[in-house]
Structure 1
Amino acid sequence: MKKKKVSIIIPAFNEEESVPLLIAQFLELKAKASFDFEVIFVDDGSTDNTFQVASGLSKKNAFLKVFSHRTNFGITKVLETGFKQSSGEIFVFFPADLQFLASDIPKLVSPIIEGDADLVTGRKEGRYEKKFVSQVYNTLSRLLFRVGVKDLNSIKAFRKEVVEGMALRKDWHRYLVVLAANEGWRIGEVDVTLTPRRFGKSKFGFWRIPIGVLDMISVAFLLRYSRKPMLLFGTLGGASLFSGVIAGIVAIFLRVFGTGFRPLLYLVILLILVGLLLIVAGFIAEQVAQLRAEFDLLKRSRH
């Protein structure tokens, strides 16, 4: 049986000290792995010698291919570059900071090779920074998306087909598992070792927390309503119309049995107009969703 080829995509930003040790891990893996692999190393606009060090090592190691971005675009853009440059049937997302072990990659790809899963994510085991933040993020994600894995933000392996046609916006690599599950791909999870960073500084800053929460809300919104927008606009519009009717009944009651309350009349008009506008917006959004569905169908037919 022909061996499966695995493309290991590595994003790197200012990791010059880590690169030689990282490639040494892949040299050890190459001697033991039951699959063929290539390493797609993408320098994401580093300001140190990361690209130069990696390029030098690529001349000695045929499995290593090095690419670079002119500035720091972020991990999602790195993955897109990696997807385009890869020739493997299975992709692996693997950071360059030495916190994960290359020896864990066979555990990730094995369920895919054996046909038991389409995407396998690593469940981090060990001591590491940001553990509390990671636990909160994963708990919120599980509650919001109902994905049956414990760790969404880790190294992962997945079939090439999983990301073909998948639109990834900036920083949405964190929700690759969620997006894949939404498309019906089979998701698996295995334990992987995570160790403290040995060189350099963590790229994780405070602002990644609120940005991550907002991204989570955006993904949840799109997954729930992008294909059925009337569900959102119709519900809000119906609620506004219903509130307008109730307010109108109260306004009539006050007018008949009291002195009336003119601001309440204005509220009735506002609620009814807002309700009607939301429902009209829902119809327009449904047309957009239908066009998107037809475009997706056309795109799939061309593959």
Structure 2
Amino acid sequence: MTAPDHPYQFLITAIMPALNEELCLDASVDNVLDVFNRLGICGELIIVNDGSSDRTGALADARVKWQQCIQAIHHENCRGIGASFWDGVQHSRGEIVVFIPGDGENDAEEIFRYLPLLEQVDIVVPFVYNPEVRSRFRQRLSALFTRIVCLFFGLSLNYLNGTVMYRRSILEGIDLRSNGFFYQAEILIKTIRRGYLYAEVPYALKQRNAGASKAVSIATMIKVFRDFASVFRSVHFAGLNGNEISCSSVTAKRVFEQRAKGACEQ
């Protein structure tokens, strides 16, 4: 995919939530920009400082001063990774949006290499093929979480918390209930159940070099459970907030093509 010839200023926006990631942020930013350059991607990076108490905010501002493709958003207090992602979406100027964490665990090339797939689908969902880089507990917890969500929401996915790429237009009208770690699962539930086309792809994680994951804690797991229950009620009892397919999506175009083809054959 080449530079865009549509109203968007960039082809892709990478949204990088960061909470106390002063040890990893610069390397994570460099990785994204390097991949943009090597793959010839017209992209921007939005760093969302989610109420950090260390130098994360200052490091983000320093990058903005000398790199025009970077924006920085600052939250006064920690609002959650989901809230940070959606704040980034609202400020994005790209046709495609993707979450890239600021903890250095993800190589941006692992997901950006699949950009051409977005000519055929609206969502690219990565799954980890080297889970051994994480602890056994983290592996089992992730596998259990994925199985439960897929069972209760009728999905068939291998992984729910990766660096998913979305066509930005399909996120419009999504009623977000989770501002924490369940946000990615919630978006996948609501977009896939609407009928948007997606592709699953393999990708590798890197070993985290510094800092500790915020995803595995008692408080986080309690919040995920509450968000799961809230989304379950909204999907199965209140119904999705609308089931329209975005007119600018690949899904809508392919549905139209199939209907036109069927009409011609009659």
Q: Could you tell me the TM-score, scaled by structure 1's length?
A: 0.71
Segments of structure 1 that go 5 or more residues without pairing to the other structure are 229-291
Question: Does structure 2 retain, via aligned residues, the 8 Å contact 1:14–1:49?
Answer: yes
Offset, 1:11: 0.4
Distance 1:3 1:57 in 2: 23
Give the aligned CA root-mean-square deviation in angstroms: 2.2
Question: Does structure 2 retain, via aligned residues, the 8 Å contact 1:44–1:69?
Answer: yes
Letter in 1 for 2:140: F
Distance 1:61 1:9 in 2: 15
Aligned partner (choices 146, 151, 154) of residue 138 of structure 1? 146
Offset, 1:139: 0.9
The C-alpha deviation readout for 1:81-130, integer Å capped at 9, x for no partner, is 10111111110111110111011132343211x2x211111101222131
The C-alpha deviation readout for 1:41-63, integer Å capped at 9, x for no partner, is 11000000001012112222222
Distance 1:164 1:39 in 2: 20
Alignment partner of 1:3 is 2:3: yes
Distance 1:223 1:26 in 2: 35
Question: Does structure 2 retain, via aligned residues, the 8 Å contact 1:14–1:46?
Answer: yes
SS for the counterpart of 2:221 is helix
SS for the counterpart of 2:161 is coil
Question: Does structure 2 retain, via aligned residues, the 8 Å contact 1:107–1:190?
Answer: no
Offset, 1:227: 3.0
SS for the counterpart of 1:207 is helix
Aligned partner (choices 118, 124, 130) of residue 120 of structure 1? 124
> Cα gap change, 1:2/1:154 in structure 2, threshold over 3 Å: closer, same or farther?
closer
1:274 corresponds in structure 2 to none
Segments of structure 2 that go 5 or more residues without pairing to the other structure are 5-10, 248-266
Offset, 1:2: 5.7
Distance 1:104 1:2 in 2: 18
Aligned partner (choices 149, 159, 163) of residue 151 of structure 1? 159
Aligned partner (choices 76, 80, 83) of residue 77 of structure 1? 83
**What is the correspondence of 1:13-32 to structure 2 with a 5 Å cutoff?**
13-32=19-38
Alignment partner of 1:185 is 2:196: yes
Question: Does structure 2 retain, via aligned residues, the 8 Å contact 1:100–1:194?
Answer: yes
Offset, 1:15: 0.3
Whose radius of gyration is greater, 1 or 2?
1
1:225 corresponds in structure 2 to 237
Offset, 1:144: 1.4
Distance 1:57 1:210 in 2: 35
More RCO (CA 8 Å, sep 6+): 2
Q: Could you tell me the TM-score, scaled by structure 2's length?
A: 0.80
> Cα gap change, 1:226/1:108 in structure 2, threshold over 3 Å: closer, same or farther?
farther
Distance 1:212 1:84 in 2: 23
> Cα gap change, 1:166/1:152 in structure 2, threshold over 3 Å: closer, same or farther?
same
1:162 corresponds in structure 2 to 170
Distance 1:219 1:97 in 2: 27
